[in-house]
């Protein structure tokens, strides 16, 4: 069966996460329903990352197997027609080898977490960023984040229900960016790794927010990491501000 890679954008707010669920809306369920309008008996699809409820994506990647030999552009156009009105879009499609896998062929994943600092409630960005009423010191958060880059036991920053076999992961990069807004400012956390533990990004951002607010020091983050104890973690940031922004593969299947 011909296999296709799909690059996806979606607003995670109305979904219970990526993974198909019997009694709640999911991104996987919406996409598989659209595929079923094109062909009967399309096999279950797979994604590079199973985003949680409320988490968004601008660069999620999934793959599907089709019975027909579709032109990738026509496949993306047909899927976008049948996805309406769900807030999910196929922004690119490509034919890939039959042994290519959206999850297992990936060599890196990139996430961005958005925090908007201002006293007034969020209106247009409500549900799409974490609203923090006070300002945050992005420079000290960037300093604290350096303690987390590299290969570590991230037990402190993994959910208790995480199913990963090992808490040891390599965080390749963590950048903190400040963007001025008309009212307040936005802090963006950019993280890159081959793979992440369940709730790792949100746990890291929630902890770094405590540093930016002056409640923790950068050394407190280093001590929390070394503790390898979930109880040492700061509060977990809400899902609203988290975006899966990209997935890397040995070859860019969407190039050209």
pLDDT of residue 160: 87
The set of catalytic residues is 52
Q: What is the mean pLDDT of residues 78-100?
A: 97
* Share above pLDDT 70 across residues of the chain, in percent, rounded to a whole number: 100
- Which of 74, 104, 134 is the endpoint of a domain? 104
Whether residues 9 and 34 fall in one domain: yes
CATH number of domain containing 22: 3.30.70.580
pLDDT tens string 134-163: 999 999 999 999 999 999 999 999 998 888
Whether residues 138 and 237 fall in one domain: yes
Whether residues 96 and 175 fall in one domain: no
Q: For residue 5, is pLDDT > 90?
A: yes
What are the residue ranges of helices labelled H in the chain?
A: 27-38, 72-83, 138-145, 200-212, 218-227
- Which of 104, 120, 152 is the endpoint of a domain? 104
- How many domains are contained in the chain? 2
Predicted TM-score of the model (pTM): 0.96
- Which of 85, 104, 123 is the endpoint of a domain? 104
Whether residues 114 and 169 fall in one domain: yes
Strand pairing of 130-132 and 108-117? parallel
Q: What is the mean pLDDT of residues 1-30?
A: 95
Q: What is the domain range of residue 241?
A: 108-245
Whether residues 80 and 112 fall in one domain: no
Whether residues 120 and 86 fall in one domain: no
Closest CA to 49 of 105, 128, 102: 102
Alpha-carbon separation of residue 234 from 32, 175, 229 (angstroms): 37, 19, 11
Q: For residue 22, is pLDDT > 90?
A: no
Closest CA to 238 of 110, 112, 54: 54
Q: What is the mean pLDDT of residues 193-214?
A: 97
Q: What is the mean pLDDT of residues 222-228?
A: 98
- Which residues touch 221 (CB under 8 Å, ≥6 apart)? 144, 145, 147, 148, 207, 208, 211
């Amino acid at each position: 069966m011909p296999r296709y890679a799909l690059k996806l954008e979606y607003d995670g707010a109305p979904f219970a996460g990526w993974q198909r669920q019997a009694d709640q809306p999911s991104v996987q369920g919406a996409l598989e329903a659209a595929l079923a309008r094109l062909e009967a008996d399309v096999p279950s699809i797979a994604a590079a990352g199973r985003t949680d409820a409320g988490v968004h994506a601008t660069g999620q990647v999934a793959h599907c197997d089709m019975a027909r030999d579709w032109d990738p552009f026509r496949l993306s156009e047909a899927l976008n027609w049948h996805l309406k009105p769900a807030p999910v879009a196929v922004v690119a499609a490509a034919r890939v080898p039959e042994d290519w896998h959206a999850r297992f062929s990936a060599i890196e994943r990139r996430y961005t977490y958005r925090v908007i600092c201002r006293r007034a409630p969020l209106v247009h960005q409500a549900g799409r960023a974490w609203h923090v009423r006070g300002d945050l010191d992005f420079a000290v958060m960037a300093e604290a984040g350096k303690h987390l880059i590299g290969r570590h036991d991230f037990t402190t920053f993994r959910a208790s229900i995480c199913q990963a076999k090992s808490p040891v992961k390599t965080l390749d990069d963590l950048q903190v960016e400040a963007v001025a807004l008309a009212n307040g400012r936005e802090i963006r956390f950019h993280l890159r790794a081959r793979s992440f533990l369940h709730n790792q990004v949100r746990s890291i951002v929630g902890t770094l927010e405590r540093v930016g607010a002056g409640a923790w020091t950068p050394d407190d983050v280093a001590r929390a990491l070394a503790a390898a104890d979930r109880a040492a973690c700061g509060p977990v940031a809400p899902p609203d501000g988290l975006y899966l922004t990209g997935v890397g593969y040995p070859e860019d299947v969407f190039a050209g």
